[in-house]
Amino acid sequence: LLNAIRSDQFDPASRAVDSLVKIGTPKAVDALVSVGLGGDYYGIERYIGSKLVSLPAGEGFDRVCELATEDRRSSARVILTLVLANRTELGANKAVLTNLYDKDASVALTSVEALAKKENLASVDHLIEALARLEKVRRHDTLLGYEIRKCLLKITGEDFKNADDWRNFWAPRKDTYKKPPPGSAKKKGMTSVRRDPPAFFGMEVVAKNVVFLLDVSGSMEKIDDLPEEPGSSTPGGTRVGDEPEPEPKDSTPNPARQRLKRVQNELIRTIERLPQDVAFNIVTFNHEIKSMSKGLKKASSRHKREAISYVRNFEAQGETWTDHALREAFGAPNLRAIFLLSDGAPRRDNQLLDTGPILKWVREANRFRRVRLNTVGFSQAGKKLRSFMENLARQNNGEFIELK
């Protein structure tokens, strides 16, 4: 297996994996995990994961559960936690819950993802305890705290401000509680410390290390019409009696509807409200990639003033090199969230790019880091952009919104 991975040969590597899975002993599992989940070969990692999901219960699977919490590499713990998200055994559930308290935020976030997938009421007490521990060290307003509350909301249909409120609600009900029907969860505000948290086009900025990745290509100069109000219709058709002619719509472009201006205004509002413990950067892209700073900067008063000045100087020109921009954004260390805004599908040399390789690169680059990738598109840009931005957000545990 090691030789096949070193020579980048999938077929012999997959055959070696099949042989070790067939043996199925703890030693065979150790070999699979130590050699195959080293972060060197994405294709084999996925293949091993698919095989471990269907590994029969027994000593080999018990070893998988142990390694999910004990392997010294966070990358292996992330992969094995994702594997155990698909298993219902007690050992699998215990391992996933243990990783809820992992010191590595990527592992803890993966645990929350797994618990949200399982939707098991038995995990509620543990999620509340994890939230309480974050409160104790004043980290409850981080991305992890946000994701824990999202998970609790999905499982129970309820949302409360803090762990004590959760305990008061859950303790007398947990033995008889029935999960609400799908889609009935009530979002009451997903952060517990700030009642009015910073947001970017309605998406809450809860991560402490953030990159705003913004398209400033030539199409961002466009001025969009106001969306029609519900029930409005175009002039024409049959009128009754002396019904007056409908007033013509004002065709004068509204400068406030320019895409770039809308983005500038919204981003300035977001920056102004960032708390000082947030570190952020702004990266713009067209046919060039430009960063406000060499790395993430704390949201001090001075840095926010500099950022606002930077935003006001945006100019729209050129093409949409989204692939290069994403590579630049993911280069930031300790990154927890990206907010990507674009009004057009990726394009270079006046040719639309195949988005498949871009999605694949991001999925591979983010498989261990678990960065939340939130995306903002424009409805006027059409189905290709919408599909790309939706897929980016979905595969990276983010949100997608479409501006009109």
Tell me the three-class secondary structure of the chain, residue by residue.
CHHHHHCCCHHHHHHHHHHHHHHCCHHHHHHHHHHHCCCCCHHHHHHHHHHHHCCCCCHHHHHHHHHHHHCCCHHHHHHHHHHHCCCCCHHHHHHHHHHHHCCCHHHHHHHHHHHHHHCCHHHHHHHHHHHHHHHHCCCCCCHHHHHHHHHHHHHHCCCCCCHHHHHHHHCCCCCCCCCCCCCCCCCCCCCCCCCCCCEECCEECCCCEEEEEEECCHHHHCECCCCCCCCCCCCCCCCCCCCCCCCCCCCCCCHHHEHHHHHHHHHHHHHHCCCCCCEEEEEEECCCEEECCCCCEECCHHHHHHHHHHHHCCCCCCCECHHHHHHHHHCCCCCCEEEEECCCCCEECCEECCHHHHHHHHHHHCCCCCCEEEEEEEHHHCHHHHHHHHHHHHHCCCCEEEEC
Domain-embedded: residue 208: yes
Residue 330 scores a pLDDT above 60: yes
Q: Are strands 199-200 and 347-348 parallel, antiparallel or unpaired?
A: unpaired
C-alpha torsion angle, residues 190, 187, 202, 151 (rounded to 10)? 50
Q: Is residue 111 part of a domain?
A: no
Q: Is residue 112 part of a domain?
A: no
> What pLDDT score does 239 carry?
41
Evaluate whether 223 touches 253 at the Cβ level (below 8 Å). Answer: yes
Domain count, the chain: 3
**Predicted pLDDT of residue 250:** 54
In a shared domain, residues 58 and 75: yes
Per-residue pLDDT averaged across 275-286, rounded? 96
Co-location of 160 and 83 in the same domain: no
> Do 172 and 290 fall within a single domain?
no
Residues 345 and 361 in one domain: yes
Residues 86 and 139 in one domain: no
Q: What pLDDT score was predicted for residue 191?
A: 41
At residue 381, the pLDDT reads: 72
CA angle 143, 113, 163 (to 5 degrees): 55
Residue 203's pLDDT is 95
How many angstroms from the chain centroid is the CA of residue 32?
29
> Is pLDDT above 50 for 34?
yes
User: How much is the pLDDT for 241?
Assistant: 47
Predicted pLDDT at 183: 63
For range 9-31, the mean pLDDT: 96
* Mean pLDDT on 13-42: 94
C-alpha of 252 from chain center: 39
Lookup: tokens for 142: 């981080």
Look at residue 240 and tell me whether its pLDDT is greater than 50. Answer: no
Tell me what pLDDT residue 404 has.
85
Mean pLDDT of the chain: 90
Top-confidence range, 36-40, 238-242, 326-330: 326-330
What's residue 192's pLDDT?
39
Same domain, 362 and 347: yes
Residues 366, 398: contact at Cβ < 8 Å?
no
Task: Please give the average per-residue pLDDT across 203-226, as a whole number.
Answer: 92
**How high is the pLDDT of residue 397?**
94
Work out the pLDDT band at 235, boundaries 50, 70, 90.
Answer: very low
Taking every pair of Cα atoms in the chain, the longest distance, rounded to a whole number of angstroms, is: 88
Does residue 193 carry a pLDDT above 70?
no
Residue 173 inside a domain? The answer is yes
Same domain, 302 and 381: yes
Residue where a domain stops, chosen among 174, 192, 210:
192
Q: Is residue 107 part of a domain?
A: no
Does 129 reside within a domain?
A: yes
Same domain (yes/no): 57, 90: yes
pLDDT, position 189: 47
What's the pLDDT at 229?
53
**What span, in angstroms and rounded, lies between the C-alpha atoms of 380 and 124?**
42
The pLDDT of residue 236: 42
More confident residue, 346 or 183: 346
133-192, pLDDT tens digit by residue?
Answer: 999 988 877 899 999 999 999 999 999 989 999 999 999 999 999 877 766 655 554 443
| Residue where the block lists tokens 């609400």 | 180
What's CA 251's distance to the chain center, in Å? 39
What CATH number should be reported for the domain holding residue 258? 3.40.50.410
**Model pTM score:** 0.85
Residue 331 has pLDDT above 90, yes or no: yes
Residues 172 and 74 in one domain: no
Same domain as 267, residue 294? yes
Q: What does the pLDDT read at residue 178?
A: 87
Structure tokens at 389: 């931005």
Domain that holds residue 158: 119-192
- CB atoms under 10 Å from CB of 61, counted, come to 21
pLDDT band at 247 (very low <50, low <70, confident <90, very high): low
Per-residue model confidence (pLDDT) at position 196: 64
Residue position matching structure tokens 């009421």? 121
First-to-final CA distance of the chain: 52
What CA dihedral angle connects 362, 366, 372 and 376, to 10 degrees?
A: -10
**Of the candidates 297, 133, 114, the residue with the CA atom closest to the CA atom of residue 212:** 297
Across 331-357, average pLDDT: 93
CB of 139 within 8 A of CB of 207? no
Judge if 399 and 290 occupy the same domain.
yes
The yes-or-no verdict on residue 113 having pLDDT over 90 is yes
Length of the chain: 404
Do 307 and 339 lie in a common domain?
A: yes
Domain contains 68 = yes
Residue 251 — pLDDT band, cuts 50, 70, 90? low
